[in-house]
Amino acid sequence: MADFINEWGSAIWEGFIQTTQMTLISLAFSILIGLPLGVLLVLTRKGGQWESVPAFTIVNSLINVIRSIPFIILLFFLLPFTKALVGTTIGVRGVIVPLVVACAPYIARLLETAMLEVSKGVIEAYQSMGISTPKIIWHVIIREARSSIILGLTIAIIGLIGETAMAGFVGAGGLGDLAYQFGYVRFQPDVMYAVIIILIVIVQIIQSIGNVIARKLKKN
Amino acid sequence: MIKLQHVSKTFRVGKNRIEALKDVSLEVHKGEIFGVIGFSGAGKSTLIRCVNLLERPTSGQVVVDGENVLQLNKTRLRLLRRKIGMIFQGYNLLETANVYENVATPLKLEGVPKEEIKARTEKYLEIVGLSDRKNAFPSQLSGGQKQRVAIARALAHEPEVLLSDEATSALDPNTTDAILELLLKVNKELGITIFLITHELNVIQRICDRVAVMENGRVVEQGTVVDVFTQPQQPMTRRFISTESKFQIPETVKSDLLKSGRLVKLTFIGESSKDPVLATLAKQYDVLPSIIAGGIDQLKDQSVGRLLVHLKGDEAKVGTAIDFLHDQDVLVEEVKN
C-alpha cells in the first residue's frame, strides 16, 4: 500500500487536480451558455412569454444536433474550431472548448425541464402584478426551479467527469487518462482500480451534496 | 371603474376557432362587489383575464379607471396592473418563499422602499389574520390560509380593484365563508372594488351587489343580486338559482295538489315579509292556504323568504285571492304542470 502510494500518489494527485480543473472550468462556461439557452427555450416555446416558432426551432434543433454527437467524435470534429478559439488543441485549454460545447446544450436541456415544472399560475400571478419578464425569470422561474436546477447540474457535473476521461486523447491528462494509459495500455490494473475507487467516491460525494442542497432549497 | 364594451375573444385551436366571449358589455362601479356567475366553460375566466390583459380581447374596449387598457404600451400596462390586484383559484404562491416573502417579494421587485415594504407586508398580513404565520411556507398552510396570503399579496399593492378568479372554488364551505367575510371586509373597510367570477351561487348571494350571468360566452342577464335572484328572466339563470333554492317537490305530490287547488310560489323580499298575507287570504277571501314548503335565503344586505303555498277553495275565490297577492309586495309565481 505504502509502496503504491509512493509510486503513484503524485500521478494520481496530479490527475485529480487536472480532472477537477477541467470539470469546474467547463462547468462554469457551460452554465454561462446553457442557462440563457434554457431560458430562451422556455420563453420562446408555444405559450411562452416571448413565443417565437423560428427562435425555438433553431435553438431546439441546434441542441439536438450537438447532443447527437458522441463526445469522443465531437472532440476531434471541433479541432479546427478549438484551435481558432483558444489557439491550441491540446492540454487542459484544448479540451475545455469541446467539453463546453458538449455540456452547455445538455445543461440547457436540464434547466429547461426544471423551469417548465414551475407552475404557470405563479408566473401569471406575477405578470398580473405588473412585474417585468426579466424579473419574473430570475425571481420566480429560476427561484422556484432552483431545487430541480441543482439536481440537473449535479447530473451534468457527473457527466462532465466522465467526458474528461477522453481528454487524454488531446493530452489534457486527468484521472480517466491515467486509468487508461497505465491501467489498460501498460496493463497495470492496480492503477485502474485505484482511479475507479477515487472516481466512485467523487461521484458519490457530488451526488450527495447535490441532493442535500436541493432538499434545503425546496422548503417543502 | 371597469368598463367592458363589446368585448369578444376568439381562440384558435388548430383549425378550430373557439369563441370564448361574444360581444360582452358590462360595467363595474367604484366601490361595489360585482360578480359574474356561469357554469364552467361559459367564458367567465377569459372575461376576467381580459380586464388586466392576461388575455387580449380580439375586439372591443376595456377601460379601467378611465384608461383604455388596449392602447397602453408595455410600461404603462405594467403600471396599471399594479393598481389591479388579482387572486386565483390555485393561490399561485411561491412555494420556495415563506408567507412574509410571498407578500414582500412583488413589492421588492417593483422597487418599493424597504421600510415601506416591511410596513405594508405587516399591515396586510395583520388584516388577513396571518401575522403569526409569517415564517411558514405554503406547503405548511391550509387552502384557506394560502388564499389569505394571496389576498395579502394583492392588497399590499394597495390596488383600487381586486379581481377574483374563482378564489373560493377549491375551498370547503366553512373556509369559503371565512374568505368571503374577508373579501367583504376588504370591500367595506379599504374601499376596494371587487370584480369576481364564480360558479357558486352562494358567493354571489353572500357578498355581491350586482351580478351578471354568463352562458356560452355571452352575458344573458345582469342586474342587482336581489332582482336577478328573485325574478330570474332567463332559463339559464333559473337553472342556476333552482339548483340551490327550488322546492324539489315530487311530480306525484305536485299533480295531487294541483287536482285539489292551485299552487303558488311566493317570494318575500326584506320588509314585505311582515304583513300576514296568508292569514288575510284565509280570513277575507275564504280560501284555505296550506304551506307545502318554505325557506329563507340570506342575500348580502337583504333576506328573501320563499313559500310554496297550496290554495284550496272556490275557483273564483282562489282567483281573486291570487289577484290580492299580486297587489301586495310579494312576488307571485304560479306553479303549473
Contact residues for B30 (Cβ-Cβ < 8 A; gap 6+) = B1, B160, B193
The predicted structure's pLDDT at residue B240:
78
**Record: contact B92-A139, CB cut-off 8 A:** no
Query: Which chain B residue lies closest to A128 (C-alpha atoms)?
Result: B81
Q: How far apart are CA B18 and CA A149, in angstroms?
A: 37
| Residue B271 pLDDT level (bands cut at 50, 70, 90) | low
The yes-or-no answer to whether B2-242 and B247-335 have a common fold is no
**Record: contact B81-A119, CB cut-off 8 A:** no
Determine the structural domain holding residue A150 and report its residue range: 2-218
A-chain CB neighbours of B157 within 8 Å are 129
A-chain CB neighbours of B153 within 8 Å are 125, 129
| Interval A84-142: pLDDT, tens | 998 888 888 889 999 999 999 999 999 999 999 999 999 999 999 999 999 999 999 99
Backbone angles phi, psi at A46, to 5 degrees: -60, 130
| Interval B64-74: pLDDT, tens | 998 899 999 99
Q: When comparing pLDDT for B171 and B335, which is higher? A: B171
**Record: contact A130-B88, CB cut-off 8 A:** no
CA distance B170 to chain A (A): 15
Place of cell 332582482: B227
Q: How far apart are CA B97 and CA A32, in angstroms?
A: 26
Check pLDDT > 60 for residue A216: yes
CA distance B213 to chain A (A): 25
Q: Of the given ranges (A180-184, B15-19, B191-195), which has the lowest mean pLDDT? A: A180-184
Q: How far is CA A197 from the centre of its chain?
A: 22
| Interval A29-80: pLDDT, tens | 999 999 999 999 999 998 888 889 999 999 999 999 999 999 989 988 999 9
Superfamily of domain B2-242: P-loop containing nucleotide triphosphate hydrolases (3.40.50.300)
The predicted structure's pLDDT at residue B48:
95
Query: Which chain A residue lies closest to B151 (C-alpha atoms)?
Result: A125
**Record: contact A121-B81, CB cut-off 8 A:** no
B251: contact with A, CB 8 A cutoff? no
Whole-prediction pTM value?
Answer: 0.86
CA distance B276 to chain A (A): 53
The predicted structure's pLDDT at residue B254:
83
Chain B (139-168) residues lying within 8 Å, Cβ to Cβ, of chain A: 139-140, 150, 153-154, 157, 163
The predicted structure's pLDDT at residue B328:
81
Which sequence spans correspond to the domains of chain B?
2-242, 247-335
Confirm or reject CATH 3.30.70.260 for domain B247-335, answering yes or no: yes
The predicted structure's pLDDT at residue A20:
92
A-chain CB neighbours of B13 within 8 Å are none
Domain CATH for A95:
1.10.3720.10
CA distance A35 to chain B (A): 20
**Record: contact A143-B79, CB cut-off 8 A:** no
Q: How far apart are CA B177 and CA B185, in angstroms?
A: 12
Q: When comparing pLDDT for B118 and B268, which is higher? A: B118
Tell me the CA distances in angstroms from B133 to A122, B136, B146, B156, B323, one per residue in order. 21, 5, 11, 17, 61
A-chain CB neighbours of B165 within 8 Å are none
Provide the number of structural domains found in chain A: 1
Q: Phi/psi class of residue A189: alpha, beta or left (left: φ > 0; alpha: ψ in -120 to 50)?
A: alpha
Average pLDDT, integer, range A171-192:
84
| Interval B101-160: pLDDT, tens | 999 999 999 999 999 999 999 999 999 999 999 999 999 999 999 999 999 999 999 999
